Structure 1
């Protein structure tokens, strides 16, 4: 059986690493989607993550109709609203301070497109509880992680020092990293990107 080419429509280093570590062969092309245009008031955060993933997959799929294109995105629901990536480290610090001692939900959406059409989409949610950390820890964390925090929707990287921010994570580790891997691998086998 000849396996189909896979393109990841995401610039996320964490997503690339998750797929590569799972032994998946893929190319990367950033979609360049206007995410803010899809973030309308009142939209369901989980559905938004899936819609963003679909938009990314479609944007790349029309350029490479022969390939299977994987789009992925995340949204963070906190205190009745959506949290976006921080503009700068001061905003990252303020957001983490706001989340201190409180729960939030991290939604990961994924979609596959081929020939300019969505052939599958899905998502998963992780429920996260941030611990009541000290200001000293927060300052040390910001200093250690630096600009990397600006690429993460919650201003944390669970695969790094960000693991120390939490009391509890209820959900799949890969979902937190932005790639609900088990869902994706199942569909990659289904659509002949990976062998059965």
Structure 2
């Protein structure tokens, strides 16, 4: 049995579309506290994504030791700084302007736990360059209710904001699916 340690509808949809049989269980991890502890230790954005994915997988694996539990997380990296989700239209507009005309990375990690311990992990990093935005355009975009609690944008709805994207689309959406599927196939968890 595969259990997705996530409440994300997007991550669940990716697994469903790939034909992976799974159940979902919300991990109930205090992400802000984990992020703060990792930042205090000097962890970079890539390592932070990996650690958050592991924390989620371990949390659910503690309740479901018989299952193969997959946790996943994503961290935005702007010039080495880990950026989290933003709240409120002003914060969203500020994030969009910070990304305007610049490259940033999204680090999407997945960690699988079996018997409560990690047995596999992978981090995919995608580089994106947002086209330059005028302040008025950023403020108009920020009024979209769907952006509340996002990283500042929803790629699947706003692909036209990007001049260049290098990496796996699924990693942009929050999970390194290609690597996860390869590993699940090697284990015989899913068909070829």
Q: When the two structures are superposed, what TM-score results if normalisation uses the length of structure 2?
A: 0.91
Corresponding residue number in structure 2 for 1:44: 44
Corresponding residue number in structure 1 for 2:156: 159
Q: CA deviation at 1:88?
A: 2.0
Corresponding residue number in structure 2 for 1:22: 18
Structure 2: tracts of 5 or more residues without a match = none
Q: Residues 112-191 of structure 1 correspond to what in structure 2 (within 5 A)?
A: 112-143=112-143, 145-146=144-145, 148-152=146-150, 154-160=151-157, 162-191=158-187
Secondary structure class of the residue paired with 1:94:
helix
Q: CA deviation at 1:31?
A: 0.4
Partners in 1 of 2:89 and 2:16 — Cα distance? 29
Q: CA deviation at 1:193?
A: 2.2
Contact 2:50 2:110 in 1 (8 A): yes
Report the RMSD for the aligned CA atoms in angstroms.
1.5
Q: CA deviation at 1:192?
A: 3.2
Q: CA deviation at 1:36?
A: 2.4
- 1:12-63 CA-to-partner distances (Å, cap 9, x unmatched) read 2221111111111211111011222332332121111111111101100111
Q: When the two structures are superposed, what TM-score results if normalisation uses the length of structure 1?
A: 0.89
Secondary structure class of the residue paired with 2:113:
strand
Partners in 2 of 1:112 and 1:150 — Cα distance? 29
Secondary structure class of the residue paired with 1:133:
coil
Q: Describe the shift of the 1:188–1:150 C-alpha distance in structure 2 as closer, same or farther (beyond 3 A).
A: farther
Secondary structure class of the residue paired with 1:20:
helix
